[in-house]
Structure 1
Amino acid sequence: MFLVFFGSLVPTFISEGFNGNTTILFLAVVVLFGFISHMFFNTTYKIEKGKLYIKCGFFNYNPVNIEEMKKVSKSSNIISSPAASFDRIEITYGKFEELIISPRHKTKFVEDLQKINPGIINNL
């Protein structure tokens, strides 16, 4: 991941050297890299008191009532979501709401949800 962010700057630094503009560019990329890394490595899903709590970096999502969940299925949707992986699951809940997440142990995660709401359809 480091090379993706900083590899593209190498030709700029070689041709321009470190001047005011390249220093600002470098600092902007460092801040962006830190922000994305923080979100990537600090995404958590917690089941507590009948709700699913989601934290993605600095952001806390509204808790989802597990009793309202209807279905869990595999997802290849690349939409922005609190999912640190492309191996994702989609949770359908409420009237028309959907949530895309990527828990590390998907089968165990869904089993834990079904302990609270046995009516959840598991399409993994």
Structure 2
Amino acid sequence: MYGATSVIIFFILTHIQYQIEGKKLVVFTLFKKWTIPISEIKEIKKNYSRHIAPACHFDRLEIFYGEDEKIYISPKDVEGLVRGLLEVNPQIRVDFL
């Protein structure tokens, strides 16, 4: 029983993807897809919270966008993703790097 549950959790956590597609950040999970216009991203912070989110571990980025929306992500290549977002929208505030 525990083995099957562990395999399912592992499968879900390892099938999270973050991609920059043109002028959008796309976050894919097994069950949901978020599409965030990069022009609406205002700020990116490091965050170590334990909120349930499409992030594999607790070393996360918190992305603030839209009016009052945010999403937690944990890309493998943090610097690469942030630099890609900044290329599209250099107005994004980043509190690290």
Q: TM-score, normalised by structure 1?
A: 0.72
- Which has the higher Rg, Structure 1 or Structure 2? 1
Which is strand-richer, 1 or 2? 2
Match of 2:11 in 1: 38
Match of 1:65 in 2: 37
Match of 2:48 among 68, 71, 76: 76
Instruction: Describe the SS at the equivalent of 2:90.
Output: coil
**For 1:59 and 1:99, how far apart are their aligned partners in 2?**
16
RMSD of aligned alpha carbons: 1.2
Larger RCO, structures 1/2 (Cα 8 Å, 6+ apart) = 2
Instruction: Tell me which amino acid in the other structure corresponds to 1:47.
Output: I
Report the number of matched residues.
Answer: 96
Query: Does 1:54 pair with 2:27?
Result: yes
Sequence identity of aligned pairs in percent? Answer: 30
Cα deviation, 1:60-119, whole Å, max 9, x if unaligned, reads: 322011110000010011100000011101000001001100011112211100001111
Which stretches in structure 2 are left out of the alignment for 5+ residues?
none
**For 1:61 and 1:75, how far apart are their aligned partners in 2?**
21
Over 3 Å off, 4+ runs:
none
Which is helix-richer, 1 or 2? 1
Q: TM-score, normalised by structure 2?
A: 0.91
Which stretches in structure 1 are left out of the alignment for 5+ residues?
1-25
**For 1:66 and 1:32, how far apart are their aligned partners in 2?**
36
